[in-house]
A and B are shown apart, each in its own frame.
Chain A
Amino acid sequence: MVTLKRLKIKGFRAYMEDKEFIFDNPVILLFGDNGTGKSSTLNAIEWCLFGNDCIGAKSAIRERIDWEIPNRNLGSSADIYVELELEDENTDAYKILRRWISKTKDELRITLLDGQSLEGQNAGEKLAQLLKSSFRDFLTMVYQHQEVIRAILTQEPRERNDAIDRLLGLSDYRNILTGIETGKLQTKQKKMCGDFDSFTREIDVALRTQEGNLKDKRGKASKKGLKENQLSEKGALEIASKVKGELQKLGLESGLSVVDLQVPEQWTDLYEFQEIADGEIKRFRSEMPDVKKQEDLFKRRGEITALKQQYQQTEKDYNRVKSKFDVKEKESDKLRREVRELENKIKEKEKQLSEASAKGAVITKALGYLQLEGIDKNVCPVCETEKPDLLDHVEREWTEKYEKLVGTVEDELDAFKNRQNEINTWFEEYNRIKRSFEDGYRRVVEVRKEIGKALGREITTEDDPDVILNNALDGVNKGLEVLEEAVKSKQERLDGISSLMGKMQLIADILSSEEKKRIVEQIQESSEYLRMEELRDEMAILVDDVDKIKIAISEASYEAAEQKVAAAGEAIDNYFRRIANHPAITKIEFSVSVDSRTARNSYEFKDQNGKYLTPTLNQGGLNALALSIFLGMTSLKGENQPFGFVMLDDPSQSSGSGYKEKLVEVLDEVLDKRMVILSSTDKELQELVLSKITKAKTKYTFSDWIPERGPEVKKE
Chain B
Amino acid sequence: MRTEIYEQLKKLHDRYGPQEFGKLCQKFLAIGFQLAGYDHIVERGVQGVDVDAAGEKGEKYTIEVKTTVKKSVNFEQKDVDGLQKKKVDGYLGVLAVLRLDRFANWVFAKVETIKPGSLVIDSLRPYRLSELEREICPFIDEAINQHFEGTMRESQKYLDTVLRQKGVEVRK
Contacts and interface: CB of A to CB of B under 8 A. Distances in A.
22 contacts: A193-B122, A200-B102, A200-B103, A203-B102, A203-B103, A204-B103, A207-B3, A521-B3, A524-B103, A533-B105, A534-B130, A536-B125, A537-B125, A537-B128, A539-B125, A540-B123, A540-B125, A541-B125, A541-B126, A543-B126, A544-B126, A545-B126
Interface string B116-155: 0000001101101010000000000000000000000000
Nearest 3 CB-CB pairings of A with B: A540-B125, A544-B126, A200-B103
B2 interface: yes
Interface in B74-121: 102-103, 105
Interface string A604-635: 00000000000000000000000000000000
A91 B103 CA distance: 68
A525 interface: yes
B107 to A, nearest CB: 10
Interface in A512-549: 517, 521, 524-525, 533-534, 536-537, 539-541, 543-545
B156 to A, nearest CB: 29
Contacts of B102: 200, 203-204, 207, 524
Contacts, number: 34
Contacts of A193: 122
A671 B1 CA distance: 73
A521 B2 CA distance: 7
Given A193-B122, A541-B125, A544-B126, A525 B103 contact: no
Interface of A: 193, 200, 203-204, 207, 517, 521, 524-525, 533-534, 536-537, 539-541, 543-545
A534 B122 CA distance: 12
A509 to B, nearest CB: 20
Contacts of B123: 540
B135 to A, nearest CB: 15
Contacts of A521: 2-3
Given A521-B2, A541-B126, 13 more contacts: A193-B122, A203-B102, A204-B102, A521-B3, A524-B1, A524-B102, A533-B105, A536-B122, A537-B125, A537-B126, A537-B128, A537-B130, A539-B125
Count chain B CB atoms within 10 A of each CB in A517, A521, A524, A543 and give the residue with the most. A524
Interface of B: 1-3, 102-103, 105, 122-123, 125-126, 128, 130
A203 B128 CA distance: 25
A533 B122 CA distance: 11
A521 B1 CA distance: 10
Nearest to A524: B103
A541 B127 CA distance: 8
Nearest to B124: A540
A534 B105 CA distance: 13
A525 B1 CA distance: 8
Nearest to B103: A200
Nearest to B1: A524
Contacts of B128: 537
A555 B2 CA distance: 45
Contacts of B1: 524
A271 to B, nearest CB: 26
A193 to B, nearest CB: 6
A544 B126 CA distance: 7
A406 B126 CA distance: 150
Contacts of A517: 3
A525 B137 CA distance: 14
Nearest to A538: B125
Contacts of A525: 2
A521 B6 CA distance: 11
Contacts of B3: 207, 517, 521
B69 to A, nearest CB: 14
Nearest to B107: A537
Contacts of A524: 1, 102-103
A540 B126 contact: yes
B110 to A, nearest CB: 12
Contacts of B122: 193, 536, 540
Contacts of A536: 122, 125
Nearest to B71: A197
Contacts of B126: 537, 540-541, 543-545
Count chain A CB atoms within 10 A of each CB in B102, B105, B123, B128 and give the residue with the most. B102
A536 B128 CA distance: 11
A218 to B, nearest CB: 15
Contacts of A533: 105
A631 to B, nearest CB: 45
Contacts of A544: 126
Contacts of A203: 102-103
Count chain B CB atoms within 10 A of each CB in A517, A525, A540 and give the residue with the most. A540
Contacts of B130: 534, 537
A539 B122 CA distance: 11
Contacts of B105: 533
A540 B130 CA distance: 13
Nearest to B122: A193
B36 to A, nearest CB: 20
A545 B126 CA distance: 9
A229 B137 CA distance: 32
A247 B109 CA distance: 65
Nearest to A197: B103
A545 B125 CA distance: 12
B9 to A, nearest CB: 15
A205 to B, nearest CB: 11
A200 B99 CA distance: 14
A537 B105 CA distance: 13
A207 B3 CA distance: 10
Contacts of A207: 3, 102
B22 to A, nearest CB: 23
B124 to A, nearest CB: 8
B116 to A, nearest CB: 18
B120 to A, nearest CB: 10
A207 B7 CA distance: 12
A544 B122 CA distance: 12
A426 to B, nearest CB: 103
Contacts of A541: 125-126
B143 to A, nearest CB: 19
Nearest to A540: B125
Contacts of A200: 102-103
Count chain A CB atoms within 10 A of each CB in B1, B2, B103, B123 and give the residue with the most. B103
A538 to B, nearest CB: 9
Nearest to B4: A521
Nearest to A541: B126
Contacts of A534: 130
A689 to B, nearest CB: 59
A426 B26 CA distance: 120
Contacts of A539: 125
Nearest to A189: B122
Nearest to A537: B125
Nearest to A203: B103
A204 B103 CA distance: 8
B145 to A, nearest CB: 15
B137 to A, nearest CB: 12
A502 B126 CA distance: 55
Nearest to A534: B130
A49 B151 CA distance: 78
Contacts of A540: 122-123, 125-126
A209 to B, nearest CB: 13
A678 B130 CA distance: 64
A524 B2 CA distance: 8
B99 to A, nearest CB: 12
A401 B126 CA distance: 158
A525 B130 CA distance: 16
A533 B1 CA distance: 12
A545 B113 CA distance: 13
Nearest to A544: B126
A199 to B, nearest CB: 9
